[in-house]
Homo-oligomer: A and B are copies of this chain.
Amino acid sequence: MPSLRDVAERAQVAISTVSAALNGTRPVAAGTKRRIEQAAAELGYRPNLLARGLQSKRTRILALLYPAPRSGFGLTEMQFATGAAEAARELGHHLLLSPEHADPIEELRHLTGLGLVDGVLLMEVGLDDERAAFLTAAGVPFSMIGRTRDPGSIDYADIDFAATARDAVAHVAALGHRELAFFNLSSGAYADGYGPAVRAGEEFAAAARAAGIGYVDGHRPGSAEEGREAFERLMEAHPDVTALAVMDDHAAVGVIAAVAARGWRIPDDLTLLLVLSSARVAEMFHPRLTTLEPPGTELGRLGARMLIDRLCGDGPPQQRLVPCRLVAGDSSAPPRTTGREGRRRA
């Protein structure tokens, strides 16, 4: 691996001149510069990132922190990572994949102490995230995918739950539905502090209210079986509900089974929306579900970009909200004008 010295030797100049020529940090005579560039090209010179980082205190490496394999990740989390890696690459940075374990804070202290990374990208941020608090206190630059309850001036990119809920409600309202129900994420899997569950719940209620349509929530099924039960209970208590938005993939499976068990059909007897799930997952269902697809790649990209911005110069905090994309499937349609009770099985 040729070094700056080899290039300097070949171009017959001092090492510092080569550095200046290649980085443009100082004026170098045109002829000299050309000679240096040629020598560098001939030798196939690549600057050594370690040496550069050691000297300049900037490694151009970012770490993506995520809680280790809870129960395996979904497609959206994968998109955070690939999106962030992509954006980092485009901006001349590298992305380190850092799983967290038992003691996130201690590991964070360790990671940042190594001098290896310039900044940190936080995934799966809780409403009261101790990592964010630590990093702020430690003065380590970071940005979040998701956000804490009160982000202050921390950079973040998150889902625009308000807009997403508005879009979803507008979609069903435009079809003529007057009664919407919402199944949130299971309270078990994601403790109370999980932002998406809390925010989506609030925003769907608000959007329904604003649109003047009936709204039912309170169910939090986390599995197919719970989804079935929840749907049965829902129909018992609110038989007039004709549209349902579900956040959990597995719960949706149960809902579909329960609908079929009644002899009902989707979308004729129920309009079903899958919220915060990838369109690729929605395609697995039959009929293909209408989905509010989270902008995973986009959020990953934004998170990385704003962190890099922060590392370069410091402007005002960047806080971006991106709505989910509504992908219309075959599970939404106008409600029946005639009642559906008659179709129920014996």
Contact = CB atoms under 8 A, between A and B. Distances in A.
Interface of A: 1, 44, 46-51, 53-54, 59, 61, 64, 68-69, 72-75, 77-79, 81-82, 85-86, 89, 94-99, 110, 113-116, 224, 249-250, 253, 256-257, 260, 280-281, 283-286, 297
B50 A283 contact: no
Contacts of A110: 46
A262 B170 CA distance: 37
A97 B85 contact: yes
Contact of A78 (B46, B78, B253): B78
A84 to B, nearest CB: 8
Given A48-B114, A49-B114, A99-B85, A69 B297 contact: yes
Nearest to A111: B94
A73 B48 CA distance: 32
A224 B283 contact: yes
Contact of A1 (B44, B113, B297): B113
A64 B85 CA distance: 11
Contacts of A64: 97
A201 B267 CA distance: 38
Given A47-B114, A82-B97, A253-B284, 11 more contacts: A1-B113, A1-B115, A50-B54, A50-B59, A69-B82, A72-B280, A73-B75, A94-B116, A253-B283, A253-B286, A281-B284
A113 B81 contact: no
B86 A99 contact: yes
B95 A97 contact: yes
A86 B281 CA distance: 26
